[in-house]
Structure 1
């Protein structure tokens, strides 16, 4: 079912196939190419996919929610409440949800822009092995399809944990690591750091979702492996269960 959803997104330009080839780069900069599953991108961001799925619904976007409880949001009647988010975030909103605590790994994503591309045009993306600062990097212009000379670099969990209170402090070590790994001899002309406190679950639950009367939880930690398809399948399965009850 998710493949049909993605095919529709592709037909309407909301998602685009990106690449089936990533590199693996070791700490000395030695690169090995690996072919695997097709990677996809959402040119307008993942939020655009969620908003597209909600098209036609009575949707209120951009509202801050302070508290959730069974059948209630911020003290108002709300019918069935679904928290589609990492468990630590769900626990901040809802008191005493009967879900086991989940451990998540943080990432700081650093976007680096040059005046022109300083890396091979067929790099696409690379997993970094053995580096204390960088775990993954991608040619973001290649991912988006606009050719912009921008790298997005994901830190290791250890480096991210040191800078969650000050993400900009990760820019210098991440820039140095990216330049060393890709042998770039000039500094970027712009850099931006984004804190991603709950980037990926350390382990998944194996269950499709959590459901209790009036308050349920779903997301990419609910399933066999963390991925966008898992997040969709979790929400789809929970939605079907609620609609059929």
Structure 2
């Protein structure tokens, strides 16, 4: 499988100290892009686009809240276009009731259609609760994706949170093949306490199966993430993850 490797977080300190140098190091490791927060892009869209392009990298997506879609969609779209991002990702939403999810679906359908006109795909990024929460036996994530218009909302799937929520990420990827353009490649060393993250490829998440299923389903970006460090951190963690994924069969573009 040959794909583009992305990164979110992990080297935040290094980027704040030496952004051009850090980006060049990431490119040398095989990374092709970064996921950023909408706030960072709004503060310096042209700067990020310039520095990333100089290193041969791209902005993959901007993470945002629902208010950016509901209250400032035009400004959000313009910031994304200014940075060259082709995806926008809702980074978190509760799944408390059928009514609340359906309100969100209405928002995503409307905003996703508008963004699509500008060449931007709206995605939803999961945590564990969308899989552990069920309504009449139906997982909240299935309700969200099956009732939202497929052209308006895609999935930025986090395989570790899906696993922690009791789901099989491979089955999720197969069920929504063609609708997962971004995969968050994350690992866990334990599913008891919340937040037992480890370097991708060193834990119990089925990354090999997930990478295969995502590739077969047309996934464009495989983004390395680790919410909090275990032993490695910063550039060491970014390097280890890239090497581990290559060992699992990932061929980097």
Who wins on radius of gyration, i.e. which is larger?
A: 1
Structure with a larger share of its residues in helix:
2
Q: Normalising to structure 1: TM-score of the pair?
A: 0.24
Structure with a larger share of its residues in strand:
1
